[in-house]
A and B are shown apart, each in its own frame.
Chain A
Amino acid sequence: MTRRQTTAAILTLALVLATSAALAQDTGTADFTKYVALGDSLTAAFSSGGLEATEQVVSYPAILHFQTGAGGTFEQALILEPGLPSQLQLFSLTPLIIAPGLGMVEFPDLTADPPDPGSFINIFLNRPYDNLGIPGANLDEALSTLCAEFDESPFYCVILRNPECEPLLTDPIGGQCLTDQGGTSSVEQGLSLSPTFISAWLGSNDVLGAATSGLVIEGVTITPLDSFTADYQQLMAMLTASGAGLVVANVPDVTSIPFTTTIPWFVVDPATGEPVLDSGTGQPIGLLAETSTGIRQLTPADLVLLSASEALAAGDGIPPQLGGSGLALTNDLVLDADEIAIIDQRILDFNDVILSEAQAAGAAHVDIFSFLRGLNATGVDLGGIQYTTDFLSGGIFSYDGVHPTSFGYAVVAQEFVDVINESFGGSIPPIDLGPFVFGVPGGIQIPAGAVAGAVLTLEARDQMLKAMGVPDVETLTRIQQRRDADRRPSRRERGRRDAPRRERPGQQ
C-alpha cells in the first residue's frame, strides 16, 4: 500500500469514530474543551513492538476525545508504516515466526521545499501534541527528560517539541540538538497547552523493564519506592495546580501479560501440546534455568518469558534425554519466584501511592490492575465472538505480548469512559466497537518475505527494550554482575557462575 493509501485508510478509521460521536456529549463536571494525555507507550498506543498510525489514531486518549464530542483536533505524533520501530508481524505459524516487518520509516527531509515529513506525517506541528504518551517513559522521565536526551528512548525527539532540536535530520534514532539546554519535559509541555482535562497513566515503565528484560535491578529496571512516591507527589502537585479535571490510572500486573504467561514452566511435547510427565512422579518436568538462587528446574511459581522462545527452539532448558541441549535458560529469559515477588509487591506499593495521591487530589482513578485481572479471567464476549488475553488467538494483546491491539485499546478506553462518567457525573456514550471488530476499508497486507528466527526473536526483544527505554540485556547483565560481585558470594552463586553458559552468536 502506498503511503497515501495508508494515510487514507487510517484517516477513514478516524472519521468513522468521529462521526459516531459528532455531537458534544454530557461530560458532567469534567470539561473536555482542551484535553491532554500524559503517559507512556500505553498512552501512545504502541502495539506489536512499534508505534504506528493505525493504532495511534485509536489510542485511548484519541478515542476519549472523540467520545466526548468536544470538537477540535486531537494532535498526535503519527508515524506511518512500518512504524517506529518496524512493527512485529506474524510471518508463519509452522515454524512459528514473529519478527519485525521489513522496511523502514521515511525520515523527514528538511531540505525539501516545502519540507517533507516522510512517514512522520504530523512532525511539523508547531506546538506540543495533545497526546504526550512517550514509549519508554517512566514516571521520572515523564517529569524530567527533555528532547535533548535522546539516549533515553528514540521517541523523545519525535514527540517532545523543541525548536532547538531538529528531529531525525541526521541521526535516525536521536536527532541533533543545537543546544544541550532548552526543551521541556512531557508534563511541562502538556501543562503549557492550558488543558481543561488531563489524563495521566504513568508508572508501568517503573516495573515493566524488569519483566521484559527478565532482570530485576533496583534503580535500573525497577524503580525504588521512595523515589517513585516523591515523583508521583510532584506530578500530582503540578497537575492539580493547573486546575484541570484529572484522571489517573494505575500499574497493571506485568507478570500477568502474554509476554510473561504464554510459555509454560515445564517441558512440552510439541506433537500434542501437553506437558511431558516425569515417569517417576507423574508430574510435569520443569525447564532448567538460571535463577536468583542458582540453576534449577522451574516450578509453577516461576515464569518463562516470551523472549525465551528462540532459546527453547534450540533446546535450551530441556534435558538431553528429552531431546534438548541440557543448557540452562539464561536469567534474562525467566522470572523466578523471588523476582516475581519483588515485582508483585512493588506494583502493589506503586498502586497504593497512585490511589492515595489520586484521592488527595480529587482525581478520578482507573484501576487498570483490576481491569486486566478481569480481562484475564473472563475476556470480552461480543455477539458470539470471544476475545481473550491469550497470545495470538485472543485479539486483545498484540504480537509483542505486552501492548494491546487496537481492539484492546478500545476496551481500555471504555474503562476510562466508565470511570470518568462515574466520577464526574457525565453520560459519555459507549464506544462503538464495531469498526474494531469488523475492520475498516483498507485491508491488511500479508507481509512479504520472512526473517529467520523463531517466535519472538531476540532481535525483536532487544528492539522492543530499546524502544521502551530499557538498557539492552548485555548491559543489564554486566550491571547485575557488578552488583553481585560487591556482595560476598555464596556457595550457590559460585555454582551458578561455574555453570555452562550458552554462547549467543551475533549478539552485540
Chain B
Amino acid sequence: MKVSGLVRRKIVVALLMAALVTLPAQGAGFSIYEQGNKATGMANAFTAQADDPSAMFYNVGGLAFFDEREFMAGVTFMFLGDSDFKGVAPFPGPTQTGSQSDQIKVPIHAYWVEPISDDWVFGLALTTPFVLLTEWDDPDIWSGRFLSTKAEINTIDVNPNIGWQVTDNLGLGFGVALRISDFELTNRVPVINPFTLMVDDVAEAELGSDTETDVGWNFGVQHRVNDRFSWGFSYRSKVEIEYGGDVELTQILTGFSEFDDLIAATLPFDQGVPIRTSIEFPDLASVGVAYRVSPAFLVEADINWTGWSSFDEMVIVSQDDPTLSETLEFNWDDSNTYRAGVTWDVRGPGEWRFGAYYDETPQPDESVGPILPDADRVGISAGYGRPLGKRTNLDLSLLYIKFDERTTTTNMDNFNGTYETSTILFGATIGW
C-alpha cells in the first residue's frame, strides 16, 4: 500500500473543486446606461426628453414622436483599469496590493427610426446594455488570483420597437429585445505543494461561455405636457440567459518536477470540462421629469430603479461530474440611481450639456471581490452637440465616474481589503 494514492486523490479533489471558480459577482458597474451621447452628456437624465433615436433605449415612448426616418450610431470609449486594491488582515493583509490593468471597452449603439404612418413609428435599436471587464495586473503575484485574474461579460441587444403617438402630447412605445451574450472568467488554481507546504499556482483556469441568447421586452410612456414640461416612464424587463460553456485548464509548472508530473497526470489539461450556468440580468425602471426653465436652459431629473435583488444566487452545474457543481451566493439588493442634467443652448448651432448622478451599489459587503468590486458612485458629465450639415448632427460626451472607496471585512471568500476605482468614458454619436 502506498500513501501516494491517497495523497493524489486528495490533491485531485482539491484541485478540481478550485477549478470551478466563482462566476461573476455583478454590479451596477456592468450595467451600461450610456447608450447615446446626447443623453450621456447630461448624465443620462433622459427619460422625460428622449428626443433622439436613442429613445429606443431611454424611453421608447419617445419613439412615437418621430415623423421622419432617422439613423444614429455611436461609440463610447470606456477607459477602465484605474482601480486599486489594498488588503486588510487577516487575508490577504496590508502587504498585498493590486491594480487593474488599463483596458478600453467600446460599447456601441445604433438606431434606425422609420415612421410607418401618422401615428405609428417603427424603430430598430442595437445597444450594449451590460459590459464588464476587470483584469488584474501581475497575475503571477496578484493575491486575488485564485478568485479572479480576468472577468469579462459582453452583451448586445437587438431591439425592434413600435411607437404609437396616442395624442399630440402622449407617446407610448413597446419593444422586444434579443439579448446576445457571452462571458469569460479566468483565475489561477491553487494547490498546497507538498515539497514546501505552501500554496502554488498549478494551473490557469479559463471559464468561457458559448454565445447564448434570450429575449426581453421594454415599454415606455412619454408625455410632452406643454412646451415647458414633460415627463416619462420607461421599463426594461429582466432577461435570463442560460449559458453552456467549458472550463479549460492550462498547467503552470511549479519547478518541482515530481509534483508537476503528479498534477499533469491527474488534471484534465488542455481539454474543456463542460459546465452550464445562467445569469439573470435585472429589470430597469426609470422615471423622469424635464422642465424648460428658459429658452436656453432645460433641466431634467430622473430616478432609475434596477431590480438586482433577483440576483441572489448562481448555480453552476458540471455535466460530467456532479461533485464539481456548486451554488454561489450573492444576495444583491435592488438599487437606485439619481440623475440630473441640463442642456444649455448657446448662441450658435451647438448645445452644451452637463449632468451628475449618484448610483447606489447593489452589492453587499460580502460580495465585494476581485471579479467586480462595486461601490456607490458619483458621475459627472459634460457634452456638446451640434449639427454638421443639413441633416447630420454630432454629439460628444465625457463622463467621469468616481467610486466611493470601499472596504470589505466580510467577503464571503475571506478576501478582504479596500478598493478604489474611477472610470472615464468618452463618447461620440452621429445622427442623420
By a CB distance below 8 angstroms, the chain A residues around B6 are 262, 264, 268, 273
- Residues of B close to A390: CB separation below 8 A: 10
- A304 (CB) vs chain B CBs: closest residue: B1
The reply to whether B90 and A267 contact each other, CB–CB distance below 8 Å, is: no
Interchain CB contact under 8 A, B87 and A434: yes
**Which residue in B3, B17, B415 is a CB contact (below 8 Å) of A383?**
B415
Smallest CB-CB separation from B198: which chain A residue? Answer: A439
Give how many A residues have a beta carbon under 8 Å from the other chain's beta carbons. Answer: 55
Task: Tell me whether chain A's interface is mostly helix, strand or loop, or mixed.
Answer: loop
Please measure, in the bound complex, the distance between the C-alpha atom of A405 and the C-alpha atom of B196, giving whole angstroms.
10
* With known contacts A92-B258, A384-B190, A395-B198, A262–B3 Cβ distance under 8 A: yes
- Which of B90, B144, B195 is within 8 Å of A433, CB to CB? B90
A20 within 8 A of B: yes
With the chains together, A438 CA to B199 CA distance in Å? 7
- Interface members, chain A 386-419 (any B CB < 8 Å): 386-388, 390-395, 398-399, 405, 407, 414
Q: Using a CB-CB cutoff of 8 Å, which residues 171-190 of chain B contact chain A?
A: 187, 190
Q: Which of B143, B146, B192, B196 contacts A444 (CB 8 A)?
A: B196
A90 to B192, CA, bound (A): 13
A43 beta carbon closer than 8 Å to chain B: no
Contact across chains for B7 and A383 when beta carbons are under 8 A apart: no
B414/A437 in contact, CB under 8 A? no
A429 on the B face (CB < 8 A): yes
- Chain A residues with CB under 8 A of B94: 20, 432, 434
A93 within 8 A of B: yes
Is B93 in contact with A93, judged by CB distance below 8 angstroms? Answer: no
A100 to B196, CA, bound (A): 15
**What would 18 more interface pairs be, CB under 8 Å, given A313-B2, A414-B90?**
A16-B95, A93-B258, A93-B259, A95-B4, A96-B4, A96-B7, A262-B3, A381-B414, A382-B91, A382-B92, A383-B415, A385-B146, A385-B199, A392-B197, A395-B199, A431-B89, A432-B89, A444-B195
Is B11 located at the chain interface by the 8 A CB criterion?
Answer: yes
Cβ 8 A contact of A384, one of B4, B5, B147, B196:
B147
Q: Which of B9, B22, B190 counts the most chain A CB atoms within 10 A?
A: B190
Residue A309 CB within 8 A of the other chain: yes
B190's contact among A96, A318, A385, A439, by CB below 8 Å, is which?
A385
Q: Closest residue of chain B to A387, judged by CB?
A: B192
Residue B214 lies at the interface, judged by CB distance under 8 Å to chain A: no
Q: Give A433 to B417 CA distance when docked, in angstroms.
A: 13
Contact partners of B92 in chain A: CB under 8 A: 382-383, 433-434, 437-438
Q: Which residues of A contact B14 (CB under 8 A)?
A: 386, 388, 393
Interface flag for B69 (CB, 8 Å): no
Binding site for A on B (CB under 8 A): 1-11, 14, 17-18, 21-22, 87, 89-96, 141, 143-144, 146-147, 187, 190-192, 194-199, 256, 258-259, 262, 413-415
Question: Which of the residues A272, A433, A455 comes within 8 Å of B91, measured between beta carbons?
Answer: A433
- Chain A 302-350 interface residues, beta-carbon cutoff 8 Å to B: 309, 312-313, 318
| CB-defined contacts of B262 to chain A, threshold 8 Å | 93-94
Q: How long is the Cα–Cα vector from A405 to B413 in the complex, in angstroms?
A: 22
A271 with B93, Cβ < 8 A, contacts A93-B194, A392-B194 known: no
Q: Which of B3, B4, B21 has the most CB of A within 10 A?
A: B3
Asked if B95 contacts A393 (CB within 8 A), the reply is: no
A298 to chain B, nearest CB (A): 12
> Least Cβ distance of B25 to chain A in Å?
13
From B9, B18, B195, give the contact of A90 (CB < 8 A).
B195
- The answer for the CA separation of A481 and B153 in the assembled complex, in Å, is 72
Residues of A near B141 (CB, < 8 A) are 438
In the complex with contacts A383-B147, A383-B413, A434-B93, A94-B3 CB distance below 8 A: no
**C-alpha spacing A437/B197, complex, angstroms:** 10
Task: For residue B199, give the distance in angstroms from its CB to the closest CB of chain A.
Answer: 5
Contact (A435, B414) CB under 8 Å given A386-B18, A392-B194, A446-B256? no
Bound-state Cα–Cα, A313 to B413, Å:
40
Indicate whether A430 reaches chain B with its CB closer than 8 angstroms: yes
Closest residue to B409 on the A side, CB-wise? Answer: A430
Residues 209-228 of chain A, each 1 if its beta carbon lies under 8 Å from chain B, else 0:
00000000000000000000
A432: B residues at CB distance < 8 A: 89-90, 93-95
Q: Please name all residues of chain A whose beta carbon is closer than 8 Å to the beta carbon of B95 when the two chains form the complex.
A: 16, 20, 432, 434-435
Would you call A393 and B415 a contact (CB within 8 A)? no
Closest to A398 in B: B197
With both chains docked as a complex, state the minimum distance between the C-beta of A310 and any C-beta of chain B, in angstroms: 11
CA distance A444 to B199 in the complex (A): 13
Residue of B whose beta carbon sits closest to that of A417 = B90
- By Cβ-Cβ distance, the 9 closest A-B pairs, closest first, are A273-B5, A384-B146, A434-B93, A432-B93, A383-B415, A395-B192, A270-B2, A268-B1, A392-B194
Q: A269 at interface (Cβ–Cβ under 8 A)?
A: yes
A272 to B1, CA, bound (A): 10
Q: Judging by beta carbons under 8 Å apart, are B190 and A429 in contact?
A: no
Check if A391 sits within 8 Å of B5, measured CB to CB: no
A337 to B176: give the CA distance in the assembly, Å.
70
Report B-chain residues with C-beta under 8 Å of the C-beta of A438: 92, 96, 141, 143, 199
CB <8 Å contact, B7 and A393: yes
Collect the chain B residues with CB atoms within 8 Å of residue A90's CB.
194-195
Does A361 belong to the interface (CB within 8 Å)?
A: no
User: When A90-B194, A393-B192 are in contact, do A384 and B2 touch as well, CB less than 8 Å?
Assistant: no
Q: Render A253-279 as a binary contact track against B, CB cut-off 8 A, 1 for contact.
A: 000000000111001111111100000
Looking at the assembled complex, report how far the CB atom of B108 sits from the nearest CB atom of chain A, in whole angstroms: 34
CA distance A346 to B87 in the complex (A): 44
CA distance A395 to B89 in the complex (A): 19
Complex A-B: 13 CB contacts under 8 Å:
A93-B4, A93-B7, A273-B9, A318-B1, A383-B414, A384-B21, A384-B22, A384-B413, A393-B11, A394-B192, A407-B198, A434-B92, A438-B199
- B147:A96 contact, CB within 8 angstroms: no
